[in-house]
Amino acid sequence: MKLITEIMEEKALPIVDKIYNDGFIQGLIRADLSEKAVEHYLKADALYLENFSDIYAILLAKSNDKVEKNFFLGQINFVLNEEIAAHKNLADYIGREYQEIIKGGEWYPSADHYIKHMYYNAFAFGMAEALSAMAPCPWIYKMVARKILANHNLAEDHPLKFWVEFYADGLVDEVLTEYYKIINREAEFMSGEGKQRLIKNFLESCEHERRFFNMAYTQERWELEV
């Protein structure tokens, strides 16, 4: 019998191709992604990652396992202090100072909807539900980055090669292994309805990932502003 996480990934595979073929990733591959798209992405993603780390803190408090707590602590550090390297690569690509870009960070519609999807599952349910909503973040980036490397021999001086290799790295596999360990463990004690919720969470977040990239590419904004 397949693990619930295997089912989740299989069902989500088609959206990996869609994200790969969308404008943001194709522009990244060609190194002609617009400055406005990159700026929009960084403003939104900086806020997103801060809140992603806050959700890890919620899960840390929910866990009774010391190993899991240390994992969540490590991920908080990674998200806040290490993933910034990929962001700075994008900032360097457009010749801008990273901190100057993100000080004007905003919650655009797609990013706002995405993070609330995660918060809802973290507060309303257990760790498995929260992690099933969070897992597409590392999973989509890993899959797209590896697809880029499989299909393109990026030149050493490609300005965004670091970004691609950062997310294609095996470290993402280690993170997902820990996610999936918890999800599969908890799923064993769930009803059919509970398992379907895990799958639904994962698939919805994969769609949110696509919308996030497209949000940046089109510079999506709220139609009505305060």
Nearest to 184 by CA among 136, 140, 127: 127
CB 111 within 8 A of CB 212: yes
User: Does 137 participate in catalysis according to the annotation?
Assistant: yes
Residue 137 half-sphere exposure toward CB, CA atoms < 13 A: 21
User: Does 206 participate in catalysis according to the annotation?
Assistant: no
Active site residue: 9, 39, 83, 209, which one? 209
Active site residue: 129, 137, 186, 206, which one? 137
Catalytic residues: 137, 209
